[in-house]
Amino acid sequence: MPLVTSKEMFEKAYAGGYAIGAFNVNNMEIIQGIVAAGKEEQAPLILQVSAGARKYANPTYLKKLVEAAVEDTGLPICLHLDHGDSFELCKDCVDKGFTSVMIDASSKSFADNIKITRNVVEYAHDHGVVVEAELGKLAGIEDDVNVSAADACYTDPDQIQEFVEKTGVDSLAIAIGTSHGAFKFKGDAKLRFDILEEVGRRLPNFPIVLHGASSVPQYLAEEINRYGGNMPGAKGVPEEMLRQAASMAVCKINIDSDLRMAMTATLRKYFNDNPSHFDPRQYLGPARERVKEIVKHKIQNVLGCSGKAFN
Ligand code: G3H
Ligand code: 13P
Ligand code: ZN
């Protein structure tokens, strides 16, 4: 089976009240950990590559690794560009064989966001590739862009129909209070489910995407802190809120920080317990296993997409 787009995944997820996990990938061990979990759970997967990941790993290597994962698992896997910030970057990913791209022009004016997104949609659709866009601004850090909480803003439901009609986009990321990174909330977690509900009403059967959706497990933060790390106050989106979002219009849930924490916690403990080891296979193996564990947990307890690969 070749790489697939997210079209059919989202149709089934919307109808079934579950979501597909979109996991950020940067190297072989992360990809292997994610797809091993997907294989055991028979879950469809979206593997996403940020501009930073492209810079780190080279998109050609990542594409080949993801193709190897498809060959090895037989799973439906979509290869997606995360937070593309220009037409050129999206075009390059389309040309390199990605099956989905995100154009994130959410920092631009409404009119410019429409214009840039429309250009990407025209090119991508001509090549059989689907497009995600973003309306509203999430707080947090992604590559070089750091949106402070004060500059973040919720998605305005009054804008979404016009945006989707004028751009022809296939899915839409909205801002309802999540943010990127491992420090999402100072006090209680609060998501604007009223906005999500209104978006679902105004765009029936249209797949919505939730970025910044790591739940930041406390046991991982504690493990990182215990072995010399520094993540006091780390806090994510409670899993029950993510489950609620997945039962509504949200069909794609983006997770990166939780995988980073799982790897970091494992490596910190490993080097603490085995100071004389220096074979990368010895420490990357357990880190890969920990990625698999957390992805399995997400599939079973947050996304609800276990057994949905071919159903
Ligand atoms: O949205 C951001 C993702 O976590 C990717 O992070 O841009 O540092 O690769 P990155
Ligand atoms: P987290 O930082 O919550 O994992 O979000 C990742 C993300 O949205 C990638 O686009
Ligand atoms: Zn994101």
**To test the ligand 2 pocket, which listed residue (23, 24, 179) has its Cβ within 8 A of the most ligand atoms?**
24
pLDDT of 225: 98
**To test the ligand 1 pocket, which listed residue (54, 80, 82, 183) has its Cβ within 8 A of the most ligand atoms?**
82
pLDDT of 1: 78
pLDDT of 287: 98
Angle at 101 between CA 207 and CA 109, to 5 degrees: 80
- Per-residue pLDDT 10s for the chain (311 aa) are 799 999 999 999 999 999 999 999 999 999 999 999 999 999 999 999 999 999 999 999 999 999 999 999 999 999 999 999 999 999 999 999 999 999 999 999 999 999 999 999 999 999 999 999 999 988 665 555 556 665 669 999 999 999 999 999 999 999 999 999 999 999 999 999 999 999 999 999 999 999 999 999 999 999 999 999 999 999 999 999 999 999 999 999 999 999 999 999 999 999 999 999 999 999 999 999 999 999 999 999 999 999 999 99
CA of 142 to the centre of ligand 1 (A): 5
Q: How far apart are CA 5 and CA 46, in angstroms?
A: 9
Q: Whose CA is nearest to atom 1 of ligand 2?
A: 212
Residues at CB less than 6 angstroms from ligand 1: 24, 50, 52-53, 82-83, 142-143, 180, 256
Element containing residue 273 per DSSP (H, E)? helix 257-273
Is the CB of residue 154 less than 8 Å from the CB of residue 136? yes
The values of phi and psi at residue 20, to 5°, are -95, 140
CA of 145 to the centre of ligand 1 (A): 10
Q: How far is CA 172 from each of CA 37, 165, 169, 209, 221, rounded to the nearest angstrom?
A: 26, 12, 7, 6, 31
pLDDT of 56: 98
**To test the ligand 2 pocket, which listed residue (100, 142, 183, 241) has its Cβ within 8 A of the most ligand atoms?**
142
Is the CB of residue 196 less than 8 Å from the CB of residue 246? no
In sequence order, the 6+-apart residues with CB closer than 8 A to the CB of 200 are: 208, 248, 249
Helices (H), 42-86: 51-57, 59-73
User: Is 82 in the active site?
Assistant: yes
**Residue ranges per domain, the chain?**
7-303
Q: How far apart are CA 296 and CA 303, in angstroms?
A: 10
Report whether residue 33 contacts ligand 2, using a CB cutoff of 6 Å. Answer: no
pLDDT of 263: 98
pTM flag (> 0.85): yes
Give me the residues near ligand 3 (ion), CB cutoff below 5 Å. 211
Say which CATH superfamily domain 7-303 falls into: Aldolase class I (3.20.20.70)
Report whether residue 298 contacts ligand 2, using a CB cutoff of 6 Å. Answer: no
